[in-house]
């Protein structure tokens, strides 16, 4: 990583840290209890340029390298310490990329700029009650009916699904299998669209929805690219999502380490700070070891993205990194709770919240078992 990029990353991280410590961290516990955070946060993040980072200037964004985009994700995670805020505030980063890559100019201009300004919320709707990672078998249909498509089906576990103004929906427009899949943008106020909020183990302030499509009609202009182009768009989107999940997991692992270290330095046990106990120092070293290895891997793969690498080996590396990073987060959350003891079990500590959010990071974007199998295939094992 050259000196200019390192300087840019350092400045970006400092700016994101200030934003997270001012706008997110002091409010997270209250937002979790309320089950939502204010829509105004989107506008404040947009004003700082965070929502538009990595998007084309002509659509209201700011072009940025993968290194910088992941640095932002990691910093928001570390200093905001809320997966719920991260998931919903940046749900457009999985909802918009297919539109930017394949959508018509008119569709892009209608959807993307207001989302990047924080005026609208975008989400991605793929998972169905009958299946998650097996995308090729999804059953939600979109049937051409004159100037419109009629959509029928159901989606579940959709982040920002309750509040989204635009839903990028995976649908079946053709025969069974991957070649019959397409993507289409559904307005949040479309007649026949019903959304039910879901209760979760973690991510309390992130709205997560089950969505029903009952003869929802949308204009054919809302088709993203061509009919049948959906499967590749979804797979390409998954790679970016998994890399972002790895960076976020790294940030959460660091947040746990920071809180545990601070506690160990302040907490007195038997007349001495907890940090003076060898067993505690070794726990912290084990946490640091996992954080450092994950950081190196994230940086290496981000640089490969910026160099244009989309090889099977890169895809395999992303899958393995996603597992490694979420396991590092799991380990650090567990050890931080252990170091904090009773306080680690109390709401209001970072590690308690992150501990509850570990599993969704390990499952979302492709569960560990799926990641291993995909990596094995890409490596021709």
Place of tokens 């932002």: 72
pLDDT over 70 at 89, yes or no:
yes
What is the pLDDT averaged over residues 257-279? 95
Class of domain 3-116: mainly alpha
Q: Please report the pLDDT score of residue 123 as a whole number.
A: 98
What is the pLDDT averaged over residues 95-110? 97
- Topology at the third CATH level for domain 231-378: Butyryl-CoA Dehydrogenase, subunit A; domain 3 (1.20.140)
Same fold for the pair 122-228 and 231-378: no
Measured CA to CA, the distance from residue 109 to residue 114 in angstroms comes to 9
Question: Of 322, 34, 359, 25, whose CA–CA distance to 202 is shortest?
Answer: 359
**Contact in structure between 91 and 159 (CB atoms under 8 Å):** yes
pLDDT over 80 at 131, yes or no:
no
What is the pLDDT averaged over residues 85-108? 97
Question: Helices 66-80 and 230-266: crossing angle, nearest 10°?
Answer: 40
Confidence band of 132 (pLDDT split at 50, 70, 90): low
Measured CA to CA, the distance from residue 263 to residue 108 in angstroms comes to 48
**Contact in structure between 367 and 356 (CB atoms under 8 Å):** no
**Contact in structure between 305 and 243 (CB atoms under 8 Å):** yes
**Encoding tokens for residue 242?**
């998994």
Q: Please report the pLDDT score of residue 60 as a whole number.
A: 97
**Contact in structure between 252 and 329 (CB atoms under 8 Å):** yes
Question: Helices 368-378 and 312-340: crossing angle, nearest 10°?
Answer: 150
Indicate the pTM of the whole model: 0.95
**Encoding tokens for residue 162?**
């309750």
Measured CA to CA, the distance from residue 128 to residue 235 in angstroms comes to 16
List Cα–Cα distances, 2 to 9, 67, 71, 173, 303, in angstroms.
11, 11, 15, 46, 11
What is the pLDDT averaged over residues 15-41? 96
pLDDT, tens digit, for every residue of 298-323?
999 999 999 999 899 999 999 999 99
- Per the rule left: phi > 0, alpha: psi between -120 and 50, beta: everything else, 197 is beta
Percentage of the chain beyond pLDDT 90 is 93
pLDDT, tens digit, for every residue of 135-194?
888 999 999 999 999 999 999 999 999 999 999 999 999 998 889 999 999 999 999 999
> What CATH architecture applies to the domain 122-228?
Beta Barrel (2.40)
What is the pLDDT averaged over residues 25-30? 96
**Encoding tokens for residue 355?**
């501990």
Mean predicted lDDT score pLDDT of the chain: 95
**Contact in structure between 37 and 31 (CB atoms under 8 Å):** yes
**Encoding tokens for residue 72?**
């932002």
Q: Please report the pLDDT score of residue 310 as a whole number.
A: 86
pLDDT over 90 at 134, yes or no:
no
Q: Please report the pLDDT score of residue 127 as a whole number.
A: 94
| Burial environment of residue 228 by CB neighbours within 10 A (0 to 12, 13 to 18, 19 or more) | middle
Per-domain boundaries in the chain: 3-116, 122-228, 231-378
pLDDT over 80 at 1, yes or no:
no
Q: Please report the pLDDT score of residue 354 as a whole number.
A: 97
Alpha helices in the chain (DSSP H): 3-19, 28-34, 40-47, 66-80, 83-89, 92-95, 97-102, 105-116, 230-266, 278-306, 312-340, 350-363, 368-378
What is the pLDDT averaged over residues 66-94? 97
pLDDT, tens digit, for every residue of 193-203?
999 999 999 99
Measured CA to CA, the distance from residue 90 to residue 269 in angstroms comes to 42
pLDDT over 70 at 3, yes or no:
yes
């Amino acid at each position: 990583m050259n000196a200019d990029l390192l300087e840019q990353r350092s400045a970006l991280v400092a700016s994101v840290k200030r934003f997270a410590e001012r706008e997110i961290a002091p409010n997270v516990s209250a937002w979790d209890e309320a089950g939502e955070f204010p829509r105004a946060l989107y506008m404040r993040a947009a004003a700082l340029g965070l929502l538009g980072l990595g998007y084309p200037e002509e659509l209201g964004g700011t072009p940025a390298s993968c290194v910088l985009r992941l640095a932002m994700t990691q910093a928001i995670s570390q200093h905001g310490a809320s997966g719920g805020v991260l998931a919903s505030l940046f749900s457009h980063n999985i909802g918009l990329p297919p539109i930017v890559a394949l959508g018509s100019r008119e569709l892009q201009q209608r959807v993307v700029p207001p989302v990047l300004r924080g005026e609208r919320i975008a989400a991605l709707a793929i998972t169905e009650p009958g299946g998650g990672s097996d995308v090729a078998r999804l059953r939600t249909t979109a049937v051409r009916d004159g100037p419109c498509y009629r959509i029928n089906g159901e989606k579940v576990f959709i982040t920002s699904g309750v509040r989204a103004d635009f839903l990028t929906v995976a649908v079946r427009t053709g025969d069974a299998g991957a070649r019959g899949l397409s993507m289409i943008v559904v307005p949040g106020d479309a007649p026949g669209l019903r959304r039910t909020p879901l209760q979760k183990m973690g991510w309390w302030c992130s709205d997560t929805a089950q969505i029903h499509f009952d003869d929802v009609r949308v204009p054919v202009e809302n088709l993203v690219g061509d009919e049948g182009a959906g499967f590749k768009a979804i797979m390409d989107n998954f790679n970016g999502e998994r890399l972002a999940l790895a960076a976020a997991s790294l940030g959460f692992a660091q947040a746990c380490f920071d809180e545990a270290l601070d506690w160990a330095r302040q907490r007195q046990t038997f007349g001495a700070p907890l940090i003076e106990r060898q067993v505690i120092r070794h726990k912290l070293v084990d946490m640091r070891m996992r954080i450092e290895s994950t950081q190196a891997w994230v940086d290496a793969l981000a640089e490969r993205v910026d160099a244009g690498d989309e090889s099977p080996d890169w895809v395999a590396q992303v899958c393995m990194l996603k597992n490694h990073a979420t396991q590092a987060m799991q380990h650090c959350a567990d050890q931080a709770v252990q170091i904090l003891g009773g306080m680690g079990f109390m709401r209001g500590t970072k590690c308690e919240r992150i501990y509850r959010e570990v599993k969704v990071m390990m499952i979302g974007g492709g569960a560990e078992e799926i990641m291993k199998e995909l990596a094995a295939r890409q490596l021709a094992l």
